[in-house]
Structure 1
């Protein structure tokens, strides 16, 4: 069999349908948002070495839409992330979630969380930031997006990326990071973490964290808070004392309806306050 080149692989890659194997069975409270009045589905984003798949949702009529980048968990751009895009589109946004692991592997077909982590561990931050730059460019030039009204939100792995991309791209008006890791060792692939860029961050980011998150200790969240005090970003962090990790993920047992709904309302208010919506 002829070996597929990296460029060809990226170009032919497709989005996940449904939920990833590793999170089965799906929690009974999963939220489903219809696409009535929307243009929603898979698109291709031109990047430096080919194309990457993404999920885009936007109102069917209108133009000059505020843009929101929706950044995936380690499970990829599966049905939950796609649903979040549709929720944003119902609010009048052009929402887009690029598949940021596609070069390293297809996590949707993996049933073991450790195998998924091995794929994600190979993803360089520089690649992710570049792909998000390309996604912003596509949204503005090819999808009726407003270059002056761009926000970003991400969950878990995507929460960490939200902080980093807000520091990387001053074009971003505001970000909301859901329980993203804040500290870590500096490596070739992950040279910086949110705590490292906090003191120079200019873009206002709202961090939403769980007080009972066993993977993100509260002391690291407080460390981030202290660093943010010396920045000019007006960033804030909210800790929900009784919430675990992934409390927004309605397809998982970690879902906490009250905190999730309150966080979603705070996101909307944050985007409005800082000129995204």
Structure 2
């Protein structure tokens, strides 16, 4: 009888420990965004990307372990002099394609080569070239694996790293989730039209301000979603700066026919200024 009671108590402790483990995998901003792929209106906002081949010379493929025992892959622009500053870049729902590598290079250059810019492969090597496959990849991505990749990146950067994040679309939501996982090492998160976290208790654990760049014509991350995000961040006592553009979802993607160069330039100006400030640059 004593052995049985001990076993029951032990199971209770294990369950409690699991409940206290931070996770991006409750129902859940990530799942909610993936569910948007069930909407034809949302899918149709993503025209198939135009062909593009990245030909930069400074970035390199890297891999490192994740807590789930698997390898994480990414594309790294290493700071020109050793630095503990990192920018994690999160892909759109297409995967880590050449457009993301190009954007990562632009961020790297505009940060003066003083920050390690790491674009993370959230699909483990898979890349979609049409919206049907992108929808399937996003919905099929295991939430536990997404979290393991983000935790692996945190470990790769090291305990002394100061980490900012940025992402678009699916990656916009992952940018915020990564910021939550990075804890006290998080110095700022940029979200381009990504699904916000709605759990106020989780938002209370954010260690840094958030910059949100949204589109007023977005049929998924619509103005009502953004309004709720503002209210939740205020309730959590956290700093959120939001800019909304008269544009469609995906307006900053140059491979998208609805690409809006004016909105993209303005949004990028806010993003790079935010990042430079958070990294302590003049």
TM-score by length of 1: 0.74
Q: Residue 95 of structure 1: SS of its match in structure 2? A: strand
Deviation at 1:70, TM superposition (A): 0.2
Q: Which has the larger radius of gyration?
A: 2
Runs of 4+ in 1 over 6 A off after TM superposition: 30-33
Contact conserved, 1:69 with 1:97, CA < 8 A, in 2? yes
The structure-2 alpha-carbon separation of the partners of 1:148 and 1:112, relative to structure 1 and needing over 3 Å to count, comes to: closer
Among residues 224, 232, 252, which one is paired with 1:219 in the alignment?
224
Q: How do residues 193-272 of structure 1 correspond to structure 2 at under 5 angstroms?
A: 194-197=197-200, 199-202=203-206, 203-240=208-245, 242-272=246-276
Asked if 2 retains the 8 angstrom alpha-carbon contact of 1:173 and 1:276, the reply is no
Aligned-pair CA distance for 1:137: 2.0
Query: Superposition RMSD on alpha carbons, in Å?
Result: 2.4
Matches within 5 A, 1:31-180: 34-35=56-57, 38=58, 40-47=59-66, 48-59=68-79, 61-90=80-109, 91=111, 92=113, 93-102=115-124, 106-108=126-128, 111-140=129-158, 147-170=160-183, 171-180=185-194
Q: Structure 1's 215 and 148: CA in aligned 2 closer, same or farther, altered over 3 A? A: same
Aligned residues: 228
Structure 1 unaligned residues grouped into runs of 5+: 1-21, 142-146, 183-193
Distance 1:25 1:250, change over 3 A: closer
Q: Matches of 2:279 and 2:216 in 1, distance apart?
A: 29
